Amino acid sequence: MADYQTITFRQEGAKAYLTFNRPQVLNALNNQLIAESLDAVRNLPGETRVLIVRGAGKAFAAGADLEEMQRRTPWNEIDFGARRELARRLETAPFPTVAAINGYALGGGLELALACHLRIASATAKVGLPETRIGILPANGGTARLTRLVGRGRAMRMILLAEHVDATEAERLGIVDWVVEPEDFDVEVEIIADKLSKLASVSARAIIDTVSRSADMTIDHAIDYEHRWFQICLGSADKQEGVKAFLEKRKPQFGAEAGKHSF
């Protein structure tokens, strides 16, 4: 990995950790941070089976860097480039991606968290899309992904009124999947990362793909698509190991080879 200045990255076996590291500005997302994050995600080791994304200090990421925003025009970011690619890669990764929200996740920060497959939040976290306060709108999947999670009416309310919601309300609405006390946060993140890293790779990839696509399919098409992945799983070494381990009353030891990816 490169010598990054605005993020940190570490790999522990099958677990990868990407941390936004501009705590002095609550991890505001400038172009350098986005570029470095994208480079790290593009070059994840092939053995990666779970990616944890989090922020250093008191925030996950408190939105875009507003000083830099002043210089952005319709023409120098006409397709949102690296920001869109980073979110898309988090969303389409062939292994679980987890946003560990330890503080504020606002604007573009929440958009990146929404692109992850799962979200765990500290009880002190606050999330929101406050773009209307500066005369713009969420433009990296915020309107699309939030609407799919909370419904049209609540998404309209949160975005139009630039509402911040606390972790408990975010869990109730389905924006985050777990809320834990601050003193337990790091331990719980590690427990979840460890569990996800031990899943059968083909099975995890199948679940991510089928769940992600099913909302845009008819029920019959979704079930057919699900069954095609089931057939692939039936032919995997991990399925053989899983069944054998169950019959032998032991924990399965799923192989990492099937999890090698070009991502």
Instruction: List, for residues 170-208, the tens digit of each pLDDT value.
Output: 999 999 999 999 999 999 999 999 999 999 999 999 999
Q: How confident is the model at residue 258 (pLDDT cuts 50, 70, 90)?
A: very low
In CATH, the architecture of 7-197 is Alpha-Beta Complex (3.90)
**165 pLDDT above the threshold of 90:** yes
pLDDT, averaged across the chain:
93
The 3-class SS string of the chain reads CCCCCCEEEEEECCEEEEEECCHHHCCCECHHHHHHHHHHHHCCCCCCCEEEEEECCCEEEECECHHHHCCCCCCCCCCCHHHHHHHHHHHHCCCCEEEEECCEEECHHHHHHHHCCEEEEECCCEEECCHHHHCCCCCCCHHHHHHHHHCHHHHHHHHHCCCEEEHHHHHHHCCCCEEECHHHHHHHHHHHHHHHHCCCHHHHHHHHHHHHHHCCCCHHHHHHHHHHHHHHHHCCHHHHHHHHHHHCCCCCCCCCHHHCCCC
Q: Which of 23, 85, 92, 90 is nearest to 52 (CA)?
A: 90
Q: Give yes or no for a contact between 120 and 100, defined as CB atoms under 8 angstroms apart.
A: yes
Segments making up each domain of the chain, as ranges: 7-197, 201-259
> Mean pLDDT over residues 18-35, rounded?
96
Catalytic residue among 12, 36, 68, 131: 131
131 as an active site residue: the answer is yes
Quick: pLDDT tens for 35-71: 999 999 999 999 999 999 999 999 999 988 777 777 7
According to the model, what pLDDT value does residue 259 have?
45
Does residue 168 surpass a pLDDT of 80?
Answer: yes
pLDDT of 75 higher than 80: no
The per-residue pLDDT for 215 is 87
The tens digit of pLDDT for each residue in 91-132 reads 999 999 999 999 999 999 999 999 999 999 999 999 999 999
Considering 111, 163, 181, 190, which one is annotated as catalytic? 111
Which tokens is 194 given?
Answer: 């460890």
pLDDT band at 256 (very low <50, low <70, confident <90, very high): low
From 1-10, 151-160, 222-231, the region with the lowest mean pLDDT: 1-10
- pLDDT at 71 (0 to 100): 75
167: exposed, middle or buried (Cβ count in 10 Å: 0-12, 13-18, 19+): buried
The architecture that CATH gives domain 201-259 is: Orthogonal Bundle (1.10)
Residue type, 35: A
Identify the pLDDT of residue 263. Answer: 52
Concerning whether 111 is annotated as a catalytic residue, the answer is yes
